[in-house]
Amino acid sequence: MFRNTAKIGAKLLVSLHALTLAVAITERTNFVIFFVDDMGFGDLRTFGAPTTSTPNIDAMAMEGIRFTQWYSAHPICTPSRAAMVTGRLPVRYGLCGGANGTQRTFACDAKYGLPTNETTFASALQRSGYHTMAVGKWHLGQEWEYMPFRHGFDEYYGVPSSVDMGRAYNNRTAEASFQREYYGCTPLALVHNEAIVEQPVDLGSLNAKYTAAAMDFLTRVSNSSAPFLLYMAYGHVHTPQYAGKSFEGSSRRGIFGDSVMEVDDSVGKVLAHLRALGKSADTLVVLTSDNGAPNAAQHAAPWLPLQPISGSNGPFLGEKLSTWEGGLRVPGIAVWPGTIAAGRVSEDIVSTLDIYATLMDVANVV
């Protein structure tokens, strides 16, 4: 599997203009992966969003490289996430769709998940001595045998499914009631490893809890001689929209913009914490989205008027669930101070599939 994906990863490495496969890496590199849910190509200021403020992610792009042709591996949650963590097309292990050709995700009552014989970037790095943690949305199976701690993560803190798959406090959109009845789910649970720590989840404080968990992990591993992997998969900006009190009403883009700004704040805090710990120069950070933004009708109750509760795919045709550009072409940013030249913009075609092999090459895991 590693040999099959190495050529893919080489493409991303060449695009970074930072490394080649022949470079001798003398220090073990850390990794932080920010994975945003349903964020479209046009949802960040640095990608042209006119009414949403994202100063921290914009600064990240200025300090590293911004990819204008970054493609997700699939236009919906579960298969795109599976592809990223394994570096393999999800059709190869049954996570691409239903027998009738529909695109499918693991719902809250799913009995199966990412096959246990698949190698994830976390399990490969864990075997190589990395500390590994997943924070946020998993959506690759909610039964214990399929959870992150069974796929190479030392620690997991998050909601295993999408934030629309269950009752929760502080939903801010009318669609929330429709979605929880549609899925027929139990209240959303916030999980730390094998323990439920909150149920129903309070969405108003969820993102702050994710940020705190990520920063706590970084603090705990910062003095270790072993490198680390932090995979931070936000519940934002999937519907229903929600945000902490300090972000409510803060965006000209309405409640959707509030959610985007809360993600931006979290990214900024984690990156600032990396700098404070003296780990920035040793850490490759990547930010992207699982798929394009949905259109306003995809998560709407049919009896309610359409509301601006989902994102923008910029100039591109299509949306989440479609294989047009709008369903697959997403923001992509990478930063690695001192290694990736600042302020670069790349038009090279790269993919979420490249992340796995890139991490393996940089970490010298074979």
The residues assigned a catalytic role are 77, 139
Phi, psi (deg, nearest 5) at residue 223: -95, 0
Sequence-separated (6 or more) residues with CB below 8 Å from residue 224 = 131
Which structure tokens are listed for 132? 């590994």
Tell me if 270 sits within 8 A of 234, measured CB to CB: no
Q: Identify the CA nearest to 296 among candidates 81, 9, 38.
A: 38
Phi, psi at 110, each rounded to 5°: -65, 135
Which among 355, 353, 253 has a CA at the least distance from the CA of 39? 253
Any idea which residue has 């963590």 for tokens?
A: 85
Question: For the chain, how far is it from start to end, CA to CA, in angstroms?
Answer: 10
Q: How many residues belong to the chain?
A: 366
Q: Is 142 left (phi over 0), alpha (psi -120 to 50) or beta?
A: alpha
Q: What does 213-272 look like in DSSP terms, one character per residue?
A: HHHHHHHHHTTSSS-EEEEEE--TTSSSP---GGGTT--TTHHHHHHHHHHHHHHHHHHH
Q: CA 127 to CA 313: how far, in whole Å?
A: 38
Tokens of 135: 């924070």
Amino acid at residue number 70: W
Q: Exposed, middle or buried, 189 (CB in 10 Å: 0-12/13-18/19+)? A: buried
d(CA 2, CA 86): 10
